[in-house]
């Protein structure tokens, strides 16, 4: 009889290899390793940046030099050697973008493997895609449609050239260069990323989407994303990542800044599937991300994320609810398996009156992984009637993984209403047997149970993204998906 035990479950979970572990062979134009002021200047020059940008980077670099890497998160990893990384890498071929024929076939193949054919995206999902391949955007689509509405959606390097007044005004306004170690580093060396501006009163007619991909081994990836939604506008932004399997650790320190002006709304969704390391915990991406949004009066920002990848994740998408009646939301699914470590959560900073925030966090741990939720709800002294609801659920598989919850609350105004709920559950043998008895094998049963557990968050994702996210949940937790 094919016995199914907890041990088998573990084994099955271990055998899931990184599905997207391939490497695209595109010639790269690469800097020598190491970081100093000259490298920062060289990056800026390479991108033909104006003086103010170069200065901004240098200032960030000086701040970074004086900082030390933070150690408070519940993660353990060998500290990256910041002088052993090359800080710039761009694909040598820069295809013209009028048609797909002009795109490097290698690149197209990569997209195919990822199941993200641009063609299909164009045809089916009405998604404009700005693909960031190894630091430089190599394809931008739908620019015209967006342009007609006055929407700007382009690589940030282009925005620095063509819309300096917008970039200058907003970059670093939510995440200052001095904010933290990784944000400072990013500010000094960021190679590319996306910029998005939605004019007053415009509702962006399509989901904006960027696929990030780390390529060249040993190249740190420092993306910078800036989204500005002007008064009364709306945008839904999708970010998805996969990376090839590599033996050495890869560092990723992105910064994402969102600005929602009065009555504006930004939905920012992420599906993240970077190489988590193999089953022995070797390799894998270090993901240290700073994501923060600022809400003015009546504005709303929602962060939705599905995190299945990375060896180490350090990430707290946050909202500063500065304007009265503004709303912040955070919906998160974080899956850890094998030796993955995730310390993720959010900060909701209530400054305005009648501000509201919702936090729904679903942590799924398997193997020997550690999954921590860390959240801060801060209510300032002038934030009358601030309200927060937090719910943190953990699902465990097996006995060797860990789930941890660290909710911090700082309420400086007596009218604040803060609610926190937390649950921990385990996938039980009874549940698996029940499913098996109905003809559902164990892999499928786990997928079903995990999807059910994550449903409240999956429901927040745009349709086409939700399907992809479900697939990711399955492959990150199963031996074989069938």
Partner 1 sequence: MLEINNLHAKIEDKDILKGINLNVKAGEVHAIMGPNGSGKSTLASVIAGREDYEVSEGNILLNNEDLEDLAPEERAHKGVFLSFQYPVEIPGVTVTNFIKTAINESRKANGHEELPAKEMLQKIREKAELLDIDRKFLSRSLNEGFSGGEKKRNEIFQMAMLEPKLSILDETDSGLDIDALKVVANGVNKLKSQDNAVVLITHYQRLLEYIVPDYVHVLHDGKIVKSGGKELALELEAKGYDWLK
Q: Which residues bind partner 1 (CB under 8 A)?
A: 1-5, 428-431, 433-442, 444, 448-449, 451-456
Q: What HEC string does the chain produce?
A: CCCCCHHHHHHHHHCCCCCCCCCCCCCEEECCECCCHHHHHHHHHHCCCCHHHHHHHHHHHHHHHCCCCCCCCCCCCCCCCHHHCECCEEECCCCCCCCHHHCCHHHHHHHHHHCCCHHHHHHHHCCEEEEEECCEEEEECCHHHHHHCCCEEEEHHHHHHHCHHHHHHHCCCCCCCCCCHHHHHHHHHCCEEEEEEECCCCECCCCEEEEEECCCCCECECEEEEEEECCCCEEEEEEEEECCCCCCCEEECCEEEEEECCCCEEEEEEEEECCCCCCCCCCCEEEEEEEEEEECCCCEEEEEEEECCCCEEEECCEEEECCCCCEEEEEEEEEECCCCEEEEEEEEEECCCCCEEEEEEEEEECCCCEEEEEEEEEECCCCCCCEEEEEEEEEECCCCCEEEEEEEEEECCCCCEEEEEEEEEECCHHHHHHHHHCCCCHHHHHHHHHHHHHHHHHCCCCHHHHHHHHHHHHHHHCCCCC
Q: Which is nearer to partner 1, 315 or 460 (CB)?
A: 460
CB 455, min distance to partner 1, A: 4
Q: Which is nearer to partner 1, 4 or 77 (CB)?
A: 4
Q: Which is nearer to partner 1, 333 or 348 (CB)?
A: 333
CB 302, min distance to partner 1, A: 20
CB 82, min distance to partner 1, A: 42
Q: Which is nearer to partner 1, 147 or 452 (CB)?
A: 452
Q: Which is nearer to partner 1, 173 or 480 (CB)?
A: 480
CB 362, min distance to partner 1, A: 10
Hey, what are 204's tokens?
């962006």
CA atoms within 13 A on the CB side of 254: 29
CB 5, min distance to partner 1, A: 7
- Closest by alpha carbon to 361, among 327, 325, 417, 315? 315
Q: Which is nearer to partner 1, 385 or 436 (CB)?
A: 436
Q: Which is nearer to partner 1, 141 or 442 (CB)?
A: 442
Burial of 70 (0-12, 13-18, 19+ CB in 10 A): exposed
Angle value at C-alpha 29, between 27 and 34, nearest 5 degrees: 130
CB 405, min distance to partner 1, A: 18
Q: Which is nearer to partner 1, 70 or 452 (CB)?
A: 452
Q: Which is nearer to partner 1, 119 or 421 (CB)?
A: 421
CB 370, min distance to partner 1, A: 24
Q: Which is nearer to partner 1, 32 or 439 (CB)?
A: 439
The CA distance from 192 to 211, in Å, is 13
Burial of 247 (0-12, 13-18, 19+ CB in 10 A): exposed
Angle value at C-alpha 159, between 156 and 165, nearest 5 degrees: 125
CB 425, min distance to partner 1, A: 8
CB 293, min distance to partner 1, A: 28
Q: Which is nearer to partner 1, 5 or 99 (CB)?
A: 5
CB 444, min distance to partner 1, A: 6
CB 142, min distance to partner 1, A: 32
Q: Which is nearer to partner 1, 399 or 437 (CB)?
A: 437
CB 1, min distance to partner 1, A: 6
The CA distance from 405 to 21, in Å, is 31
């Amino acid at each position: 009889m094919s016995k199914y035990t907890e041990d088998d479950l573990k084994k099955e979970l271990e055998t899931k290899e990184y599905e997207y572990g391939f490497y695209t062979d595109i010639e790269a134009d690469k800097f020598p390793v190491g970081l100093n002021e000259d490298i920062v200047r060289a990056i800026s020059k390479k991108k033909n940046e104006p003086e103010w940008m170069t200065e901004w980077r240098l200032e960030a670099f000086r701040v970074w030099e004086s900082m030390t890497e933070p150690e408070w998160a519940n993660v353990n990893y060998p500290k990256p050697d910041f002088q052993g990384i090359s800080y710039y890498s761009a694909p040598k071929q820069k295809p013209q973008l009028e048609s797909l024929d002009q795109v490097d076939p290698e690149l197209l193949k990569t997209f195919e493997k990822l199941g993200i054919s641009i063609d299909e995206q164009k045809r089916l999902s009405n998604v404009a895609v700005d693909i960031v391949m190894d630091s430089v955007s190599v394809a931008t689509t739908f620019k015209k449609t967006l342009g007609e509405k006055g929407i700007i959606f382009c690589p940030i390097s282009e925005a620095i050239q063509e819309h300096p007044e917008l970039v200058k005004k907003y970059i670093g306004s939510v995440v200052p260069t001095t904010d933290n170690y990784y944000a400072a580093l990013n500010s000094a060396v960021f190679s590319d990323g996306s910029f998005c501006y939605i004019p007053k009163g415009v509702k962006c007619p399509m989901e904006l989407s960027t696929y990030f991909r780390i390529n060249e081994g040993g190249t740190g990836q420092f993306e910078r994303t800036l989204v500005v939604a002007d008064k009364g506008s709306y945008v839904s932004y999708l970010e998805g990542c996969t990376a090839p399997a590599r033996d050495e650790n890869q560092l990723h320190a992105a910064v994402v800044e969102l600005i929602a002006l009065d009555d504006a709304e930004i939905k920012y969704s992420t599906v993240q599937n970077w190489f988590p390391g193999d089953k022995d915990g070797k390799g894998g991406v270090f993901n240290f991300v700073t994501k923060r949004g600022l809400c003015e009066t009546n504005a709303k920002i929602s962060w939705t994320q599905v995190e299945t990848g990375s060896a180490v994740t350090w990430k707290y998408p946050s909202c500063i609810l500065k304007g009265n009646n503004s709303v912040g939301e955070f919906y998160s699914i974080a899956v850890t398996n094998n030796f993955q470590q995730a310390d993720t959560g959010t900060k909701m900073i209530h400054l305005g009156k009648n501000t509201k925030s919702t936090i729904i966090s679903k942590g799924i741990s398997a193997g020997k992984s550690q999954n921590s939720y860390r959240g801060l709800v801060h209510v300032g002294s002038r934030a009358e009637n601030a309200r927060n609801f937090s719910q943190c659920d953990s699902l465990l598989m097996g006995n060797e993984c860990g789930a941890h919850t660290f909710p911090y609350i700082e309420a400086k105004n007596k009218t604040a209403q803060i609610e926190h709920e937390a649950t921990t559950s385990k996938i039980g043998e009874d549940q698996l047997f029940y499913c098996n008895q109905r003809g559902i094998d164990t892999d499928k049963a786990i997928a079903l149970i995990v999807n059910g557990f994550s449903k409240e968050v999956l429901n927040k994702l745009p349709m086409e993204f939700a399907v992809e996210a479900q697939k990711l949940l399955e492959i990150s937790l199963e031996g074989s998906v069938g």
